[in-house]
Structure 1
Amino acid sequence: MIPKDNRFQSDPDGILADSDHLLDGWQVAAPDPSDRFDVARLTQLLRAHEDAGRGWAGASVDDVLVEVSEQGLRMRENVVVRDPEGTIRAWGSVHDRAAGRMMFVHVVERDLEDKIADSCSRLLFEWAEEQARAVGAARGLETQQIDTGAFAGDQRQADWLSGAGFRKVRSWWQMKRPVEPDEISLVPDPDEWEARGARFRLVDREGGALPDEEDLRAVHDVLEQAFTDHFNSFEETYAEFLHRLREDPGHRWNHWWLAELVDDVPEGLEAPAGRAPAVGALVGTVSESSSGPDASYVSYIGVVDAARGRGVAKGLLNTVIADAARRGRRSVGLEVDADSSTHAHRLYESMGWRTKYVTESWHRHVPVTEPVEESVDE
């Protein structure tokens, strides 16, 4: 059963049954997350998409389940395009990420002949446009952004996106650095340490319980403040933020850090009574591997303006590297905006990160309501 807070249309056939792009004998429907064949096929399609786009595949069944499981459907909707034999040939997923921003996954089988592939692609775009109108209307918006991506150099995907009215708006460097065992000594203790008036620590947590809510809210608040002026920043509620990050297959509470100022605190920085003001946060995850040591990944790192220039970002990065070293991880990855006004890539490069591949953001803005043509009386 789809939860109440899903704002999408749940019947793909109701959107696409009369589409000019639906081939004779083909069908559109929602995938069945309880059907292992559906999940396996979606995983196969996604891995082939990655392999064609960047040269290797990394997606797993868990990545697919983030999109199609009952929990995922709280904020998502999916459609698959099946050929006359029932085989899934294309898959679309939309994610109500934040007010005004809808993420869109667009995957079409790589071995289809061009004419059929084009039809499948157009079906996915048509479906996504209607879903954008649905979620935008539910949120009371006039315009809904569709945010989707492509691997740099994937010309087939780029051609489809530009043909559907999307515009490439940003490039992202996907960076990685190796981790050496002796780098555990980069910080005194990855769980908690201090330097230059700043304390770096894991979010408070007792046993297997949920972390301290004030700590989790502090992480959310820091990241919201840190990214306010960044590209395509949309306000995300605490509940949306927490739900989304806990969905990540690599989510681990012991990969969430806060940075607090304990000395020389600038005026204007506030904190609950008895607590030091939080000025930085890093949310990490684990990237599991079946062929060798796992890796760590920096999903988010942010520092509020009032604390920049005090080594907070570097301290958080050294902390996650040291933590990876003590866990026997092989590397730490992260993503950086190629056009960032803060030039964050300079810090990452100085600390050993190098670009492994490049992705692109493509946007389209959809009017939530169709314009009404005015009649002219003769």
Structure 2
Amino acid sequence: MIPEESRFASDPAELLPEVPGLPAGWQVGAPDPADRFDVAALTRLLRDHERHGRGWPGSGVDDVLVEVSEHGLRMRENLVVRDAAGDIRAWGSVHDRAGGRMLFVHIVDRSLEGALADACSDLLLVWAEAQARSVGEARGLAVQQIDTGAFEGDRRQEHWLRGAGFERVRRWWQMSRPVEAGETELVPDPDAWSDRGVRFRRLSDGERPAEADLRAVHLVLEEAFRDHFNGREETFEEFVHRLEEDPGHAWHQWWLAEIVDGEHPEPVGALVGTLSEGGTGPGGSYVSYLGVRSAARGRGVARGLLATIVADASRRGHDRVGLEVDADSSTGADRLYLDLGWRTRYVTESWHRHVVVGDLLPG
């Protein structure tokens, strides 16, 4: 269930001791999502962070609003560091993602150097640790994981995370595949088609899908990812709420695969996609989730779902389909994507730290 109130502490003063190194007049607090200058400043920070990390920016205002808007704050909390002129120079965001897993965004202005940049980073890291204890205690946990990310090769970020006790635990290939106009014919119809006893169908033309279909997608993905790296149980309400927040969310990008050669259709695969704007060029599609139940593997379900979103993207005039794959997985999923035309554009990393939650430690 989605909590009525946030599990985080909203007052930075409750969590932060005096942090040395900040100049006189610098302050910490929460950003104002209604202030266009704050939102613009956070967008600049995020885009500059991406530019330094992978060579180009990709995020926009909508990505920032997911983190700071009132809609998202039941599951999130934010902290910013302002200089003496009131300009935002560092930003931290925490997300109560699922039981035992707290996501953490850690961004320090790239123009800051030396001791001042270190001080801003230290403040964000101390705050995140305290928030991990807050959300972990609210969930009744003994240990709370902090899960944050970095671009491969970002030495500054690696230095700060390693120094704060984080461990690099995983690498992720961020892959993209070009889409050609003729690929509209990859499948008979992205709305619905069948092959070898498996039916692939779009859940909606734009409206919220039927509750039973949404629950079927959730159950398929929960089973498919149960044994994957850092898999955490997520309630149906948490799952839908989180995906609806995505700036590229579109109900017509959800597909279900069902075995139909039995008495009743059996959901065995699901693909949740999102859309991205093209700016000055064509847009793109993105595979946020692709899962197949173990009992149905080997029946072409994953290939069929991927062909469906590519054909749909082609019909929409999109020029690419992106996805993320676990670079360290032993499942061989990367071979499927390579075989179907996906190539790695850049690599990201997962860094974890496990925080003991006060008196709840066993024993």
Q: Aligned partners of 1:278, 1:355: CA distance in 2, in Å?
A: 30
Match of 2:196 in 1: 196
Match of 2:228 among 230, 250, 269: 230
For residues 158-201 of structure 1, give each alpha carbon's deviation from its aligned partner in whole angstroms, at most 9, with x where no partner exists. Answer: 01000000000000000000000100100000000000110000
State whether structure 2 residue 324 is matched by structure 1 residue 326: no
Shift of 1:136: 0.1
Q: Aligned partners of 1:132, 1:369: CA distance in 2, in Å?
A: 11
Instruction: Name the CA shift for 1:90/1:259 in 2 (closer, same or farther; >3 Å).
Output: same
The AA in structure 1 aligned to 2:329 is S
Q: Aligned partners of 2:350, 2:90: CA distance in 1, in Å?
A: 20
Instruction: Name the CA shift for 1:101/1:371 in 2 (closer, same or farther; >3 Å).
Output: closer
Query: Alignment partner of 2:70: what SS?
Result: coil
1:21–1:122: 8 Å Cα contact kept in structure 2? no
Q: Aligned partners of 2:19, 2:150: CA distance in 1, in Å?
A: 25
Shift of 1:343: 1.1
State whether structure 2 residue 289 is matched by structure 1 residue 300: yes
For residues 3-61 of structure 1, give each alpha carbon's deviation from its aligned partner in whole angstroms, at most 9, with x where no partner exists. Answer: 83310000113322533454432111000000000000000000000000000001100
1:144–1:367: 8 Å Cα contact kept in structure 2? yes
Give me the TM-score of the superposition, normalised by structure 1: 0.93
The AA in structure 1 aligned to 2:320 is S
| C-alpha RMSD of matched pairs (Å) | 1.4
State whether structure 2 residue 247 is matched by structure 1 residue 249: yes
State whether structure 2 residue 122 is matched by structure 1 residue 122: yes
Hey, which bits of structure 1, 4+ residues long, moved more than 4 A? none
Shift of 1:370: 6.2
- Which deviates the most, 305-314 or 334-343? 334-343
State whether structure 2 residue 46 is matched by structure 1 residue 46: yes
Shift of 1:64: 0.1
Q: Aligned partners of 2:156, 2:226: CA distance in 1, in Å?
A: 33
Shift of 1:341: 2.1
Shift of 1:371: 9.2
Shift of 1:84: 1.4
Shift of 1:208: 5.4
Match of 2:163 in 1: 163
1:16–1:28: 8 Å Cα contact kept in structure 2? no
Q: Aligned partners of 2:359, 2:54: CA distance in 1, in Å?
A: 37
What is the aligned length? 359
For residues 269-316 of structure 1, give each alpha carbon's deviation from its aligned partner in whole angstroms, at most 9, with x where no partner exists. Answer: xxxxx8511000000000112120000000000000000000000000
Q: Aligned partners of 1:17, 1:71: CA distance in 2, in Å?
A: 29
Shift of 1:210: 1.9
Match of 2:208 in 1: 210
1:187–1:319: 8 Å Cα contact kept in structure 2? yes
The AA in structure 2 aligned to 1:105 is V
Question: How many percent of aligned residue pairs carry the same amino acid?
Answer: 67
Match of 1:313 in 2: 302
Instruction: Name the CA shift for 1:21/1:115 in 2 (closer, same or farther; >3 Å).
Output: closer
Query: Alignment partner of 2:237: what SS?
Result: helix
Q: Aligned partners of 1:162, 1:208: CA distance in 2, in Å?
A: 44
Q: Aligned partners of 2:74, 2:214: CA distance in 1, in Å?
A: 21
Match of 1:349 in 2: 338
Q: Aligned partners of 2:360, 2:306: CA distance in 1, in Å?
A: 49
Shift of 1:369: 0.6
Which of these two proteins has the greater Rg computed from alpha carbons? 1
Match of 2:174 in 1: 174
Query: Alignment partner of 1:112: what SS?
Result: coil
Alignment map for 1:11-26 (pairs within 5 Å): 11-16=11-16, 18-20=18-20, 22-26=22-26
1:22–1:123: 8 Å Cα contact kept in structure 2? no
Q: Aligned partners of 2:279, 2:221: CA distance in 1, in Å?
A: 32
Alignment map for 1:282-293 (pairs within 5 Å): 282-293=271-282
1:324–1:332: 8 Å Cα contact kept in structure 2? yes
Unaligned runs of 5+ in 2: none
Match of 1:340 in 2: 329
1:194–1:200: 8 Å Cα contact kept in structure 2? yes
Query: Alignment partner of 1:342: what SS?
Result: coil
State whether structure 2 residue 348 is matched by structure 1 residue 359: yes
Instruction: Name the CA shift for 1:246/1:371 in 2 (closer, same or farther; >3 Å).
Output: closer
Q: Aligned partners of 2:278, 2:74: CA distance in 1, in Å?
A: 28
